[in-house]
Structure 1
């Protein structure tokens, strides 16, 4: 395969950088045992004009998934795990939303995105979530399709796989990947967390264009507080990617040492679930056909050649890592810039066509041609983003009545704070002003005016009219956050304790348990817990239409008042 086919490629990439206004492109190409191109183009830090080179540290995002899939596969090779038997046979504590999933889900289902469960990325983003944290919450994720029915990309399932690795392998996914893959392959510059590298001198910096002008702006680093995440946190270099590609095209061998078994590598390319032929259907582009997702990577037939690949996308950084196993060609492309993310596919396909001696497909013209219509569509959408707002409406309650801590089992707590006469939304590292939109809906816009993200919070009231929850959308899911129980001081709860008498002479007892909770004991009935709704006001699960208020007079609690639809009933303290 003559290397002369790459002649003029450097000049070609330079023209692409200019056309796309791209800060940088990095390329690694391996043919057989030989790295034939390992080169960066443009600037890894555009503001400082620092060059992108073979040792520039670059987040590979979802290209992490193949490493995790192979790590789990090594346990399969060792007989500690299987790809296709129900995972609950290996981990009896596994629990999904329903018994069918719990009894049926396999390791292959998790790795191939075929559980039928939608994305729940906010469970992990900025949450410092461990793999076990996510594994223990799998039952909270309701499926939207049947098992193995359709492809639904789900990063969270790779957290579950990472826990499986640690549970059955006795070692974390990062340790296993480093000891069993990175070190044997000589990938010394590859690590697991971008935010841990912020002081490194050769770190790639994310950029993108402003919304309405072709000027680049630097992107702030996100996920600073997260632990390494198995769905996409690894950082590598073009030099290390050359070594990785060499391992992939040489059946898992590095310098005649079998690092990954040939059988396991083939397993990752075995089709687990089909992908739709969108390019022919949408645009009439027939070069790539019959895609399928395997384990941590997907396959396609590209102009008659089997191609196995995966993309990686994180704010400011985009990558593609692929091999043609029969031809023993490997290609990795890194791109800085959200606005020019598609450039990775342009360069990726063009390199294969050059090396195979094929007539070039006009990928650049095609994908660049989609850029401006997409930009216009986004601009039009933004201009209409408030069209559904209904004017002349007011909140149903005082603003301070909306304040409180609201919780969801999967996502944690969102605080709605009332400060200086205004509401604020506080969630993990976000602290945003919450503005009235209409009725009982309030919106919080991102701090960055170039960021279109916003929270839409729709508050709801109880039967008694108290604001006790809100509905919002997180990624692909509508989620209900419920107001957390009001926190009374233990000394005050103790003062509520005592005997109370009804008008008919029935005596009931209010008492505290050792765990600090307040309970009601009625003769002949099961004890029931009081749930604090607000200061001195409680609810009870058995009486959802009632509230219970402890009434104080002259510094002493004199009664427990139950408010029902029929009116107020007074239990006098004796």
Structure 2
């Protein structure tokens, strides 16, 4: 069942709605998403809302315009908006040193520590590997705190020079949330409610701790298993505040997100108090290109894109000659998309409660070109077929075949058994379990698995189905001098599994 929410009819409006319906129908026919909510704002007004599917597959509870979805990294633009409100209030400057607000802040390089400004926390220019330190955030639940993040940063070694190139990070957005808290005199979650949710009337949006059933109408994440979507990482009755909240912890409804879009598309937007929500100066700052990004082959071929850059929590580019401001959000089982075309006062939001990267890409392309290239001959089928061809390309999949696995008995790894420590990730145990060898992280309980052999190499076969990126484990030395490093089995897997930044040294015995 699909719910389409009625708007006052007119022939022209009905024609535009029908065109949007065709886009949605074509994408859903191919990808069979478990559920979604889509909203389109045109000329500053909500033109189109559509929801489909179930909050939890097989349960029968339908997704509606007030259903909460995880928006994941679309949280980042809300974090930067909170900072911008503090700048407007005179409590913060973008070029302030981070250490002004967080005296214990340290990067690996002392010079970078001194030079790191608030703005640098937001634009992915730190020199760290993409996703560095993300194993302190995901998989959840874990027991890493924001204090752990601040302390662990000093041990993460850069792979590029500071400010020399773009590599996406999440940890520095956690730091940005702590800067906001210090400058604003309240915890990050309190500030976000005060500076964004309340003045804009985002009444369903949630951050921090809340009660699932008291709030109600909450979509659950789904991943594909053997060709069908199944629920993963279901919410407990009590949802706790998360260390990663400033980087990706917000949940909002379709109605809230269309309100969010309208606030950005109206330069004169006022808050619920009747005052301007954000100054023109800070609006411009958030959308000013800060860090160049590569223009992908797909962007060039599909949208004739000439430039791409990162602002403060937003990606900036051109599509068919039209300025585009956008961001995506991805957490296991939840995908989101926000796109704004400010010069046309139009934009759209897509919320999906399933792993749906390809579907999101097609929605973005078709809904963008609906406004930037309405006469294009390329329809949904063209883009979906192009994505399918890319996936079949011989060079696309670099993951090795690891199906021939052999159990490893603890006697085989006697020289390596023990308790190990990495400076930022903390302790893990590599110890016998029955006749097998178990890897178990102390602060991240989902990172527990059995060590198996694939040819000459060892890998960790994780116990939890939700941990979907396996790791090679390579030992050196023996006994008290034993060490090991790790790396992704699939080099193209999610960069947040940043095994490559780990370096463990043995600190004790299993017993």
Q: Pick the TM interval, shorter chain.
A: 0.7 to 0.9
Distance in 2 (alpha carbons) for counterparts of 1:446 and 1:398: 20
Q: TM-score, normalised by structure 2?
A: 0.83
8 Å contact 1:206–1:337 — kept in the other structure? yes
8 Å contact 1:85–1:106 — kept in the other structure? yes
- More displaced, 422-431 or 395-404? 395-404
Where do residues 468-547 of structure 1 align in structure 2 (5 Å cutoff)?
A: 468-473=482-487, 475=498, 477-485=500-508
Which residue of structure 2 lines up, in the alignment, with residue 515 of structure 1? none
Where do residues 433-452 of structure 1 align in structure 2 (5 Å cutoff)?
A: 433-437=450-454, 442-447=458-463, 452=468
8 Å contact 2:156–2:501 — kept in the other structure? no
Where do residues 17-56 of structure 1 align in structure 2 (5 Å cutoff)?
A: 17-56=28-67
Distance in 2 (alpha carbons) for counterparts of 1:32 and 1:129: 44
Which residue of structure 2 lines up, in the alignment, with residue 546 of structure 1? none
Which residue of structure 2 lines up, in the alignment, with residue 294 of structure 1? 311
Deviations 1:106-141 (A, max 9, x none): 111110101111222002223333333312322111
8 Å contact 1:58–1:235 — kept in the other structure? yes
1:371 aligns with 2:394: no
1:111 aligns with 2:122: yes
Which is richer in helix?
A: 2
Once the 2 structures are TM-superposed, how far is the Cα of residue 188 of structure 1 from its aligned partner? 1.2
Once the 2 structures are TM-superposed, how far is the Cα of residue 480 of structure 1 from its aligned partner? 1.5
Local SS of the residue matching 1:71: helix
Q: Per the alignment, do residues 291 and 479 of structure 1 end up closer, same or farther by CA in structure 2, a change over 3 Å counting?
A: same
Which residue of structure 2 lines up, in the alignment, with residue 322 of structure 1? 339
Local SS of the residue matching 2:463: coil
Match for residue 244 of structure 1 among 260, 263, 283? 260
Local SS of the residue matching 1:230: helix
| Structure with larger RCO (C-alpha < 8 A, sep 6+) | 2
Once the 2 structures are TM-superposed, how far is the Cα of residue 259 of structure 1 from its aligned partner? 1.9
Q: Per the alignment, do residues 356 and 272 of structure 1 end up closer, same or farther by CA in structure 2, a change over 3 Å counting?
A: closer
Which residue of structure 2 lines up, in the alignment, with residue 348 of structure 1? 364
- More displaced, 394-403 or 25-34? 394-403
Which is richer in strand?
A: 1
Distance in 2 (alpha carbons) for counterparts of 1:208 and 1:104: 42
Match for residue 198 of structure 2 among 183, 194, 218? 183
Once the 2 structures are TM-superposed, how far is the Cα of residue 100 of structure 1 from its aligned partner? 1.9
8 Å contact 1:312–1:318 — kept in the other structure? yes
Which residue of structure 2 lines up, in the alignment, with residue 405 of structure 1? 419
Once the 2 structures are TM-superposed, how far is the Cα of residue 27 of structure 1 from its aligned partner? 0.9
8 Å contact 1:271–1:294 — kept in the other structure? yes
8 Å contact 1:41–1:53 — kept in the other structure? yes
Once the 2 structures are TM-superposed, how far is the Cα of residue 8 of structure 1 from its aligned partner? 4.1
Q: CA RMSD in A?
A: 3.3
1:10 aligns with 2:36: no
Which residue of structure 1 lines up, in the alignment, with residue 187 of structure 2? 172
8 Å contact 2:146–2:243 — kept in the other structure? no
Local SS of the residue matching 1:320: strand
1:143 aligns with 2:177: no
Once the 2 structures are TM-superposed, how far is the Cα of residue 287 of structure 1 from its aligned partner? 3.0
Q: Which runs of 5+ in 1 are unaligned?
A: 487-533, 536-574
Q: Which runs of 5+ in 2 are unaligned?
A: 1-9, 488-496
Match for residue 310 of structure 1 among 321, 327, 345? 327
Local SS of the residue matching 2:173: helix
Match for residue 222 of structure 2 among 207, 213, 220? 207
Which residue of structure 1 lines up, in the alignment, with residue 171 of structure 2? 156
Which residue of structure 1 lines up, in the alignment, with residue 493 of structure 2? none
Distance in 2 (alpha carbons) for counterparts of 1:140 and 1:24: 41
Match for residue 424 of structure 1 among 429, 438, 451? 438
Where do residues 553-572 of structure 1 align in structure 2 (5 Å cutoff)?
A: none
Local SS of the residue matching 1:289: coil
8 Å contact 2:333–2:354 — kept in the other structure? yes
Once the 2 structures are TM-superposed, how far is the Cα of residue 457 of structure 1 from its aligned partner? 2.1
Q: Per the alignment, do residues 194 and 274 of structure 1 end up closer, same or farther by CA in structure 2, a change over 3 Å counting?
A: farther
Local SS of the residue matching 2:302: coil
1:97 aligns with 2:108: yes
Distance in 1 (alpha carbons) for counterparts of 2:505 and 2:373: 61
Once the 2 structures are TM-superposed, how far is the Cα of residue 416 of structure 1 from its aligned partner? 1.8
Which residue of structure 2 lines up, in the alignment, with residue 124 of structure 1? 137
Q: Per the alignment, do residues 43 and 91 of structure 1 end up closer, same or farther by CA in structure 2, a change over 3 Å counting?
A: closer
Match for residue 217 of structure 1 among 230, 240, 243? 230
Once the 2 structures are TM-superposed, how far is the Cα of residue 271 of structure 1 from its aligned partner? 0.1
Local SS of the residue matching 1:481: strand
Q: Per the alignment, do residues 245 and 301 of structure 1 end up closer, same or farther by CA in structure 2, a change over 3 Å counting?
A: same
Distance in 2 (alpha carbons) for counterparts of 1:330 and 1:394: 54
8 Å contact 2:137–2:243 — kept in the other structure? no
1:455 aligns with 2:471: yes
